[in-house]
Amino acid sequence: MAVIVTFNVPGVGPELYEACVERLTGGQGFTSPADLPVPGLLSHATGPVEGGWRVTDVWESVEAFEEFGKLLGPIITDLGYGGLRPEVTPAHKVVTR
């Protein structure tokens, strides 16, 4: 079952996000789910919210997200946001282009 994963990060802008992308992709950039080193990402959106930054992903399963988390977690910790935890909810429906 697909899951919606949302990170809300207060007090930051795009710099933290871009630093994570840089490390996750080895500097290759992120324009497609295939750019990530693990499979399972169905959609990705990110942008500013009042007082911070939000990242919302749809993963094909909680297991796929957990594999990604094994890579992302140490990066976030190294960047000083080790306590950051996403909201993970089951997706009722996923529609893509």
Q: How far apart are CA 65 and CA 59, in angstroms?
A: 6
Assess whether pLDDT exceeds 90 at residue 93.
yes
Model pLDDT, residue 96: 87
Backbone angles phi, psi at 4, to 5 degrees: -100, 125
CA angle 66, 68, 73 (to 5 degrees): 90
Q: Is the pTM of this model over 0.85?
A: yes
The predicted structure's pLDDT at residue 65: 98
Answer whether residue 97 shows pLDDT above 90.
no
Angle formed at CA 96 by CA 95 and CA 97, multiple of 5 degrees: 135
**Cβ-contact 3, 57 below 8 angstroms:** no
Each residue of 13-69: pLDDT tens digit?
999 999 999 999 999 999 999 999 999 999 999 999 999 999 999 999 999 999 999
